[in-house]
Amino acid sequence: MIITIVGGGSTFTAGIVKSIALRREELEVTEIRLFDIDKERQDKVAVLVDWILHEDLKCDIKLVATTDEETAYKDASFVFAQMRVGKYAMREQDEKIPLRHGCVGQETCGCGGMAYGMRTIFPMVKVIDDAEKYAKPDYWILNYSNPASIVAEACRVLRPNARIINICDMPIAIIDVVAAAMNIKDKKQIVYDYFGLNHFGWFTSIQYQGKDMMPALRQYIKEHQILLPDAYLKDKAALGVAPQKESGTEGNRHTRGSWYYVWKGEYEIMENFPEMLPNTYLNYYLQQKEFVEHSDPNHTRANEVMETREKNLFDGIDKYLATGEIDEKVFYAGSHGDWIADLAIALKNDTKARFLVITENRGCLPNMPYDAMVEVPAYIGKDGPEVITQKPIPLFQQGLMMQQLNCEKLLVQGCIEGSYEKVLQAFTLNKTVPSMKVAKEVLDDMIVANKGYWPELH
């Protein structure tokens, strides 16, 4: 079996490949292909991937790195898509342009997320078309290219019959943190219910071995005034400080820089709305003013990533090429790769395992539109997701979701039609933007920054 990774030059690729290789018997994988339009970057990542497969794990999985579509997709059973169109240079613009206008600067939420989405829609459609042309007839695309909600809506409209499942690992990262805070050793024993849109949802139930963990979790968050495990909070002086590799203060990434405020925000939201545990990204919508205030418009999370994870990876590869020595800390492994590989196992082996996926609503959330792309639990088998019907959403959450949903639908329509007015309506409707005037100013700046990436708007 062949697995193709689109965006093979990503900093996440090595960790994902390791997760695949550790499950090689269940996946029966014989070949992994890396596909990227940036040959130089991908070739460097391929050096590390080759070491993982053939030196570290000593397995016989064949590795191919290519920039050719037919070579990448031919007879592939799975396509893992993790594109970052425009790379970190454009992410930096996504974050800094809105901040200049007093709006949230975040890569997947608000104006930044809409800009990123408009860059990603048509490249994702090309991935679908190439898979249809070259891959096995029963291929599956597992897409975790951000912003997943906008990409999922565009795929629904433009390629409704594509064999694609859109997923996100942020809820899983939250569950990892919850497990650590609650001293839960086997996180696979945690069962949760969740509803929302991607990066815009709520946990309604978290159970461990049949026990309701929400009361203890609420108490923990209230006492600590943050959702982070005790072990993460030991260095009080460093909390919230931007990571600096040269001074040796990188620390746990969740306690550093902008991430600290995200986990702190879980406490602040639950002080007012304690019934459900919010996705961390809801901070950008419910505390937009506060997040702008503690953001540095000259140094955003894009800079944090470039200075740490990105730099560490390529410095580590250069060191390996020069000395033959490798530091396993330079590549990212864990929930991100495990989640995707486990989902592929469920599809291939028809396990009916439970996952959180982004899928068309079709009545799953009774008081949301039938065609909304929602994020809900589902059982995964060979035919795709079998969604688990949820209760009607309370008015507060439904109102927020409808505003965000319509924003995303307008954006996709505007992008497809080349309509400036509809894209402006989407920017104006977004909860992170204070007025129509500001929405227009941000949009006009972003049109200039995204020249060559966006369709022409008229």
**In which band, very low, low, confident or very high, does the pLDDT at 337 lie, cut at 50, 70 and 90?**
confident
> pLDDT confidence of 240, banded at 50, 70, 90?
low
| Consecutive H or E run containing 396 | helix 395-417
Mean pLDDT of 419-434: 98
The yes-or-no verdict on residue 246 having pLDDT over 90 is: no
327 catalytic per annotation: no
Which of 36, 169, 342, 445 is flagged as catalytic? 169
What pLDDT shows up at residue 245? 47
pLDDT tens, position by position, 411-421:
999 999 999 99
pLDDT digits (tens, 9 = 90+) for 299-335: 999 999 999 889 999 999 999 999 999 887 777 655 7
What pLDDT digit, counting tens, does each position of 164-190 carry?
999 998 999 999 999 999 999 999 899
d(CA 48, CA 317): 7
Greatest Cα-to-Cα distance within the chain, rounded to the nearest angstrom: 60
Q: Residue 313 is inside which H or E element, if any? A: helix 311-323
Q: Can you count the helices (H) and strands (E) in the chain?
A: 18, 13
Q: Please write the tens of the pLDDT for every residue from 84-127.
A: 999 999 999 999 999 999 999 999 999 999 999 999 999 999 99
Task: Please give the angle made by the CA atoms of 212, 216 and 221, to the nearest 5 degrees.
Answer: 130
pLDDT score of 236 more than 90: no
Catalytic one among 116, 208, 281, 284? 281
What's the rounded mean pLDDT across residues 140-151? 95
d(CA 109, CA 95) in angstroms, rounded, equals: 10
Q: Mean of the per-residue pLDDT values for the chain?
A: 94
Angle at the Cα of 56 (from 53 to 60), degrees rounded to 5? 35
What is the phi/psi pair of residue 118, to 5°?
A: -70, -25
CB under 8 A, 24+ apart: contacts of 381-386: 381/346, 381/347, 381/350, 381/351, 381/352, 382/347, 382/348, 382/349, 382/350, 384/140, 384/163, 384/165, 384/347, 385/165, 385/355, 385/357, 385/359, 386/352
Q: Could you confirm whether 383 is annotated as catalytic?
A: no
